[in-house]
Structure 1
């Protein structure tokens, strides 16, 4: 570094005054100049640095982070920026050093305690803040509400529309929750599709209902995400300190128990924790234990519910429905254990057992009657999406030697939308074999005319939620009418589920519906009783007329 002119002295003074460290390296990597700040940053003196080599790797014109070990073994993170020398000497570089240890530490703390997608506190920070609020509430004598929130059907949305859009939905939910509550409240993401809230300073338990309604209202408006219009809904579980627990883990557990109860009741619902909920949670764990043993204990049985033609009033066939006669709990309703089987993955072996049982039974019925009939089996998304499902079904059909026109599969709208190209391919293979394909619970999912044209479907089953009040609710009547009209335009068969009254039957007869199924004709019955129905096709003629 030149020294002999006033300009050079001024230049040196300016360099020495810099807070950033400055090093001037020659082509061999030797330090020819170091200012005082560089000496401090490198745990040395400027004079001792001159003449030594700079032992840390540098990348020309790029930002480099260097980890320096000081004499006392403390670590320091330096940012190094490299540029060519001002006087143009070839191979000479100027290195600017800046201590970013505090910034790195701050970023590390943020990454440790905040969710990277939503920038909300994560589960760790949520529990820490809850612990602090519990301490404060002991002095203020105020209640603290712990809320666990779950997005309904988020997994289905994720699988149908993609994980990128799923991430955008999570960000939108986080934003709406932040906008809904005070800065003193904690809103956190504590699971993949679960959010937690700590709401301190409540005066009475009744305040929770108001807060829960406030949350649900925040999601009543349509959400537009990347040009998709979605109606999101949530379920909430709420536990109160000190009534429902005095520790962080107990309150979280009890709020989770309340959330499970809210999920069972439907969308946009909330539940406060109670001892009764806790009892239900224990019962659920026990039911899961029994379910795991049910296959080995041969506790399952297939019942059949008849489907009746509204054209000739004969029996069309029936729907195979699983029944569980538990050794420990007696007859368990399907809506209790089917969801549990899906959540635990047991639905796959149970579903396979049902398909095998039905196929073997169809082969027996073929020997009893030569009249046409079709027995439909519900297929879960886990079964259908599993590799080899179609091939295994084909092998089973060959093994039983049954006529494939006697077998039908019932699938849901959501299943079709998980992977459209794969679903179309597999359904076409099944259709080519002569297997009938029904869409179950039609009207509760996407209900799109475009996808009905795309998939090789034979039957639409109108969901019983529309059938139930079709004679007293104009909206349900119009929906049912629209479904029948659309199905007829596409040359599809329509069956109304859950027909329980003569008035409902006459309504669907007027619409030109092809068939019905429901308690008006028969509940689901054991195989021996259904065999009698199947061999006497006119058994329901009087009721259907």
Structure 2
């Protein structure tokens, strides 16, 4: 065979290569058996049999040639055809149905079934049956009668050769079958393991190994079914780790994952075997309790769970303490299905966080009403911004020494078309939680600056406008851009704008905040600390951030003349402010006695109902004119 023919031979796949190898082995076995038979019959000078064997060997050699040309199917067909014809020839010429060659026919069919196509097997089977049927008919009718020879050593040699070749070839193919079955069983085992793993992952959390929300739903259905049958309580606890994000940010996600794993082990080891602990997602877990006698027993479980999770964790060589907040929804009081109870337990959990964390809360109807109300407020505030339902009222600020109006605090008001005037204390906290305070605060700044410039155009002079800023605006909004846009669009000089901040914002001691305030102060803006005295005791931020004014909280001012302790606090604040060269502003002045005492203590400015509540822009302008006219008349009535 030439190199060109080899290169032209088609490439075989793995299955064809395996078949070619087995066909080659059977061909060599058959040729070895033929060689043995040829030698035996040549010694016995049975030349007709030798000739048939040689012709068969020639056909088998042609099969080998086809096999080397990568044509295993053709080689298989030719080999089986040659063997079939050769064996049937011996059967016809020798002892008929009693000839040893008949033993080879089942082996040939086995080879055809294992190595050939179905058509080849059926064809060979039909040829064999027809040939044997024809031979039988010929013997019965006397047309061709096979002579039965006595048993001799040559008969044993022929049978042994046939059985050896067929048996060894069948043994090879049986081994292939055993190995194939073994591989199939191994693959089936892998499939079963994979299916089991998929089933496990579909119902369990990959990180902690706890049941996930899908399995929690099924377990909950089982729990409430048992609770209904036993007439007992069931509960769904929604547990959230407090400040988990801080752990992730400071120690890394690996430490956060380890914290979740340790927390899941603690919960799983503590609860009863009839209870279920699930991972809801993130740092949230669900605990399904069944068979509880009453709410007190459920509360005891919640207490123990919070205590269990407060024990220090070992994370990266550090002892880390983490608390948890738990919301509880009861079956059937709070609902009868998983989704309803999950939603209510989630609400209760957030109420626990609002109450200071490391606590648990049961769901109640009032809580649900509060959540619904918050959702309505959020939707309403978005509409209010678009429909211009917000407005600003201005409360005048007075210089206590001269009695002159020196400024105004801009206060946000919302007049709902259906609900009427909504108090700021009701909607501003919701706006801060939802993030709407960023857009609302930007509108407040723009409107206050516009109004301040309008008053200057009306001849009211240079009033200092104070605008409250939420910490959310600093942390999540681009407050510098918002302030600059408000000043640029209105034309108000920066020195006429005072930004009021809370102590909670300044206490963060953020370098970004310090740089931001420095840039804004360079423009001419001033800063006040609102509600001073109710926040933190560390007053180092007063020096770091260089504010201009302290607004003393009205809770101290209202009881100034009645409570000596409040007077002592106010006196201390005023003295400290003056030592730091800061201006003090008293909020909530409501009577002449309080005003007089503040003047005695040295307070610089004030505002409150003693003079006026917050007024719409037009009424404020009229009030300032009236105050100045009254002050001018009083000055003119004095004796020279």
> What TM-score range do you get, normalising by the shorter chain?
0.5 to 0.7
Unaligned runs of 5+ in 2: 1-174, 632-640
Select which of 464, 471, 493 maps to 1:374.
464
* Equivalent position of 2:271 in the other structure: 183
* Equivalent position of 1:296 in the other structure: 386
Task: State the alpha-carbon separation in 2 of the partners of residues 302 and 504 from structure 1.
Answer: 27
Report whether the alignment pairs 1:333 with 2:423. yes
* Equivalent position of 1:282 in the other structure: 372
Unaligned runs of 5+ in 1: 1-43, 49-67, 77-100
* Equivalent position of 2:250 in the other structure: 164
Select which of 171, 183, 187 maps to 1:72.
187
* Equivalent position of 1:113 in the other structure: 205
Task: State the alpha-carbon separation in 2 of the partners of residues 275 and 72 from structure 1.
Answer: 56
Report whether the alignment pairs 1:306 with 2:392. no
Aligned pairs for 1:55-94 within 5 A: 71-72=186-187, 75=190
Decide which structure has greater helix share.
2
Aligned length: 448
Is this contact kept in 1: 2:263–2:309, CA < 8 A? no
Structure 1 residue 113 displacement after superposition: 2.4
Report whether the alignment pairs 1:137 with 2:189. no
Aligned pairs for 1:222-301 within 5 A: 237-259=327-349, 272-301=362-391
1:133-162 deviation per Cα after TM superposition (whole angstroms, max 9, x unaligned): 43442333222233446688x59x95xx99
Task: State the alpha-carbon separation in 1 of the partners of residues 392 and 429 from structure 2.
Answer: 17
* Equivalent position of 2:435 in the other structure: 345
TM-score (structure 2 length as normaliser) = 0.55
SS of residue paired to 1:325: strand
Structure 1 residue 244 displacement after superposition: 0.9
Distance 1:192 1:410, change over 3 A: farther
Task: State the alpha-carbon separation in 2 of the partners of residues 459 and 164 from structure 1.
Answer: 36
Report whether the alignment pairs 1:448 with 2:448. no
Report whether the alignment pairs 1:430 with 2:516. no
Is this contact kept in 2: 1:368–1:535, CA < 8 A? no
Task: State the alpha-carbon separation in 2 of the partners of residues 247 and 528 from structure 1.
Answer: 56
Task: State the alpha-carbon separation in 2 of the partners of residues 176 and 482 from structure 1.
Answer: 51
Task: State the alpha-carbon separation in 2 of the partners of residues 360 and 120 from structure 1.
Answer: 58
* Equivalent position of 2:584 in the other structure: 494
1:392-418 deviation per Cα after TM superposition (whole angstroms, max 9, x unaligned): 422431332222222111223344466
Distance 1:71 1:188, change over 3 A: closer
SS of residue paired to 1:331: strand
Is this contact kept in 1: 2:397–2:607, CA < 8 A? yes
Distance 1:146 1:403, change over 3 A: same
* Equivalent position of 1:394 in the other structure: 484
* Equivalent position of 1:59 in the other structure: none
Decide which structure has greater strand share.
1
Is this contact kept in 2: 1:147–1:196, CA < 8 A? yes
Select which of 323, 348, 365 maps to 2:455.
365
Task: State the alpha-carbon separation in 2 of the partners of residues 390 and 483 from structure 1.
Answer: 30
SS of residue paired to 1:278: helix
Which deviates more, 487-496 or 294-303?
Answer: 487-496
TM-score (structure 1 length as normaliser) = 0.64
Structure 1 residue 250 displacement after superposition: 1.0
Structure 1 residue 445 displacement after superposition: 4.8
Structure having greater relative contact order (Cα 8 Å, sep ≥ 6)? 1
Task: State the alpha-carbon separation in 1 of the partners of residues 304 and 596 from structure 2.
Answer: 43
Distance 1:433 1:193, change over 3 A: farther
Report whether the alignment pairs 1:528 with 2:614. no
* Equivalent position of 2:89 in the other structure: none
Task: State the alpha-carbon separation in 1 of the partners of residues 555 and 306 from structure 2.
Answer: 23
Is this contact kept in 1: 2:460–2:625, CA < 8 A? no
Structure 1 residue 75 displacement after superposition: 4.3
Is this contact kept in 2: 1:306–1:319, CA < 8 A? yes
SS of residue paired to 1:134: helix
Structure 1 residue 302 displacement after superposition: 0.8
Is this contact kept in 1: 2:203–2:215, CA < 8 A? no
Structure 1 residue 300 displacement after superposition: 0.9
Which deviates more, 127-136 or 346-355?
Answer: 127-136
Task: State the alpha-carbon separation in 2 of the partners of residues 220 and 496 from structure 1.
Answer: 43
